[in-house]
Amino acid sequence: MTQEQVIRQIKFIETVLREQNYNLPKNIVIDTNYVSASAYGQCKYNLIKQEATIRISKPFYLNGKDKDIISTICHEFAHAIMPEENHSKKWKNIAYEIGSLFNVALDSSQRTSEYELNDGKNLKTIFYKKPVGHFHCDYCNKDYFIYKKPKCSSYQCSHCRTTLQYFNDRVDIDEKPKTKNDKIEIILKLKSKGYSVKNISKEVDLSTSMIYWILRINKK
């Protein structure tokens, strides 16, 4: 969808929900410049102003499937109607009702960021070319790929609650690079594997401008 189509779709859904007497806030603000690697949409509720801001991720609506975009908009409207409920049973009932109005299935067990885009990928692959690693469940034989460094190494499988084993898929760095040459070597290695400058800067603890300069002077 284009930006204009998304705005029209949000306004249309708002009109229908108001006609159906759903408890929407007085004002609905539309934000189509929202960019996120972890979610396709977001609803921000301002209790004082009685206002809800519906945000739809720009990379998503430019690359996503129409039914998933409509599903995400309905999902965020459910949050606007029941801002205090998060993903409770009451919220799920409202979400299913709204989804049925627009012939889309709202699967509350699936994160919207897991929807596939038109090219078969998901939202995170737009921001990160390759996963930094993955967690593996031996019991379910399932892999959970991640695109950012994990905050800790002990996670449980969402299905069987077995402790997951972490595998680093990016590059093996046992310790931080000590010398300038070590950093340059790692920068060139990561760049050759297709990683972005932003993620390289996190790996070697250098600014992106410095990495651009190093890549330029070491360009063959």
Instruction: Please report the pLDDT score of residue 12 as a whole number.
Output: 94
161 Rama class: left (phi>0) / alpha (psi -120 to 50) / beta: left
pLDDT above 50 for 173: no
Q: What is the pLDDT of residues 189-205, one digit of tens each?
A: 777 777 778 777 777 77
Higher pLDDT, 127 or 75: 75
pLDDT above 70 for 130: no
Instruction: Please report the pLDDT score of residue 105 as a whole number.
Output: 67
Residue that has been written with the tokens 């299905």 in this structure: 159
H or E element at residue 194: none
Task: Among 38-52, 68-82, 104-118, 145-159, name the most confident range.
Answer: 68-82
Instruction: Please report the pLDDT score of residue 198 as a whole number.
Output: 78
Give the percent of the chain with pLDDT over 70.
79
Beta pairing, strands 165-168 & 142-146: unpaired
Q: Point out which residues pair with 43 in neighbouring strands.
A: 54
Rounded average pLDDT over 61-84:
88
Instruction: Please report the pLDDT score of residue 170 as a whole number.
Output: 59
Contact 43, 80 (CB under 8 A): yes
Which tokens hold the place of 14?
């708002």
The C-alpha atoms of residue 5 and residue 13 are separated, in whole angstroms, by 12
pLDDT above 60 for 123: no
Count of residues making up the chain: 220
Instruction: Please report the pLDDT score of residue 211 as a whole number.
Output: 83
Q: Point out which residues pair with 156 in neighbouring strands.
A: 163
Reported as a pLDDT band with limits 50, 70 and 90, residue 147 is low
The C-alpha atoms of residue 145 and residue 113 are separated, in whole angstroms, by 13
Higher pLDDT, 12 or 139: 12
The C-alpha atoms of residue 42 and residue 77 are separated, in whole angstroms, by 10
Rounded average pLDDT over 42-56:
90
The residues spanned by each domain of the chain are: 3-114, 128-168, 180-217
Q: What is the pLDDT of residues 19-30, one digit of tens each?
A: 989 989 999 999
| CATH fold of 3-114 | Zincin-like (3.30.2010)
pLDDT above 70 for 171: no
- Coil vs helix vs strand at 218: coil
pTM over 0.75: no
The C-alpha atoms of residue 63 and residue 144 are separated, in whole angstroms, by 23
Instruction: Please report the pLDDT score of residue 87 as a whole number.
Output: 82
The C-alpha atoms of residue 192 and residue 104 are separated, in whole angstroms, by 42
